[in-house]
Amino acid sequence: MPESAAAVAVAETKGTAAGSSGRQPAQVYAVAAVSALGGLLFGYDTGIISGALLYLREDLGLSSRGQETVVSVILVGAMAGALCSGRLAGRFGRRRVVVWVAAVFAAGALGAALAPGTGTLIAARFVLGLAVGGASNMVPVYIAEVAPAAIRGRLMVLFQLMVAIGQLLAYLCGWLFAGSGGWRIMFGLAVVPAAVLAAGMLRLPESPRWLVEHDREELAESVLRRLRPKDADVTAEIASIREVSASAPPADRRALTRPWVRPALVVALGVAAFSQLTGINAVVYYAPTMLSDAGFGDSVALLTGIGIGAMLVVAGVTGAIAVDSLGRRRTMLYFVPLSALAMTVLGAAFLMDDSPAQRWTVIAALFAYILFNGIGMQSVVWLIAPEILPLSVRGPATSLATLTVWGFDLLIAVTALSTVNAIGRSGTFFVYAAMNVLCVAFVLLKVPETRNKSLEQIEKALRAPGSLRRNLTAGS
């Protein structure tokens, strides 16, 4: 198809597949809210280790390498969970996989709470990782495929907001149950939201796009009529989904290497990598430990952790507004440079002599970094891949993007304390600041704007000759 024809097709699709500007039905928000509980569990189970680690290392006699192992094994599980969930979702559906993920969350939380020793705890954390990987892979895809284009951004960022709320709850529990043995209660509390997620997902509909792919168009239309405004042209949306699905080749590994898929894959994998290389989880996992070792005291370190959790929630709310009002690309370009600046100040603060001014500078820079990186990167990372990747490879390609997130997260988790020991806190934070600068360059060169575009519009722009960014701009 010539580029001009593709632009016309994109413009024609905008008025149909994108949905209606009318008031959205309450059920679409309920679908997003219940499924996003997977994000809360993801945030809680990855964040709780920061408070628990202060006492785990004493109760179980863990060295720095042992601490890194307990922290990072959940990420190994997450990589496996991300790979498995994509394949399972393609066969059994998005909704059913999220229900299974909730059950695995509950089993892993119980195992960690009752672990008699280090080996059992590591095994339970691996099981939790399977659930974290499945949730981070499938929940954003599920929300993307049921949400109308006009509010897809804010509904998908709800997932990241719930991750932030889960991390805040983890920090609060770390403070409330501080002391030897309290880490068992911290881990066990995750069973409650896991049960709520499983019960809620059983009442939600399957993704209409998955239903169309599996020749169940009548059911897909029924689902969409419950999830769209009364004046929405559901028949046209079904036709648009069918058109894209019919033109897509059968999903296989070779499909990921097709030239027209490559620009989307580069964007998805690049944003996934930089979401971790910019240093967010080095702070989330190890800030209380680093601050305690720097002389702040355990109580101050835990309270600072609560502040970090609060900043993550503020960043989640702000990011939810920014991705739909500013757009995905501009949100990154506005806030990631501020993230780099805050990380640079944090590194410089650790070069100062110990004093009240130095400690306040460390805490202020830490909070500023969490806020700006949370808005600029974490609000976008779970949104961009399900949006930009085409339907035929969305399952395996999103799994690959999620695997990239967890792979680089694992890299940070197993090297953060060792890097601090090798080059000091300042050197470590300066490296992360440089990664933020490289991230800005990547966004400038590669990332297109997908705000207010239906998934079908984005895929047509991807398939058309020429630059993906130009094709999407031409269709605006």
**Where are the chain's structural domains?**
17-474
Q: Which of 255, 269, 238 is nearest to 392 (CA)?
A: 255
Distance CA 275, CA 346 (A): 19
The position carrying tokens 């969305």 is 394
The dihedral over CA atoms of 458, 33, 194, 53, expressed in degrees to the nearest 10, equals: 80
Q: What is residue 352's DSSP assignment?
A: S
Q: Which pLDDT tens digits describe the chain residue by residue (476 residues)?
A: 333 333 333 333 343 444 445 677 778 888 888 888 888 888 898 788 877 877 777 777 777 777 778 888 888 898 888 888 878 888 898 889 999 999 999 999 999 889 888 888 899 999 999 998 888 888 888 888 888 877 877 787 777 788 888 888 988 888 888 776 688 898 899 999 999 999 988 888 898 888 988 889 889 888 888 888 888 888 888 888 888 777 655 555 566 778 888 889 999 999 999 999 999 888 877 776 667 666 666 666 667 778 888 888 899 889 888 988 899 999 999 999 999 999 999 999 888 887 888 888 888 898 999 999 999 998 898 888 888 888 777 777 887 888 898 889 888 878 887 888 889 889 999 999 999 999 999 999 999 988 878 878 888 888 888 788 777 777 65
- pLDDT computed for residue 18 by the predictor: 42
- What is the pLDDT at residue 397? 83
Q: What is residue 295's predicted lDDT score, i.e. its pLDDT?
A: 64
d(CA 149, CA 229): 12
Q: What pLDDT sits at residue 17?
A: 40
Spatial separation of the C-alpha atoms in residues 204 and 390, rounded to whole Å: 24
So what's the pLDDT on residue 54? Answer: 74
How is residue 187 written in tokens? 């881990």
Q: What is the pLDDT of residue 254?
A: 67
CB 389 within 8 A of CB 256: no
CA proximity to 271, closest of 341, 332, 315: 332
Which token pair is 2?
């010539």
Say what the pLDDT of residue 303 is: 75
Q: What are φ and ψ of residue 443, in 5° steps?
A: -65, -45
pLDDT at 293: 62
Query: Per CATH, the architecture of 17-474 is what?
Result: Up-down Bundle (1.20)
Give the ranges where 177-204 is alpha helix by DSSP (H). Answer: 182-188, 191-201
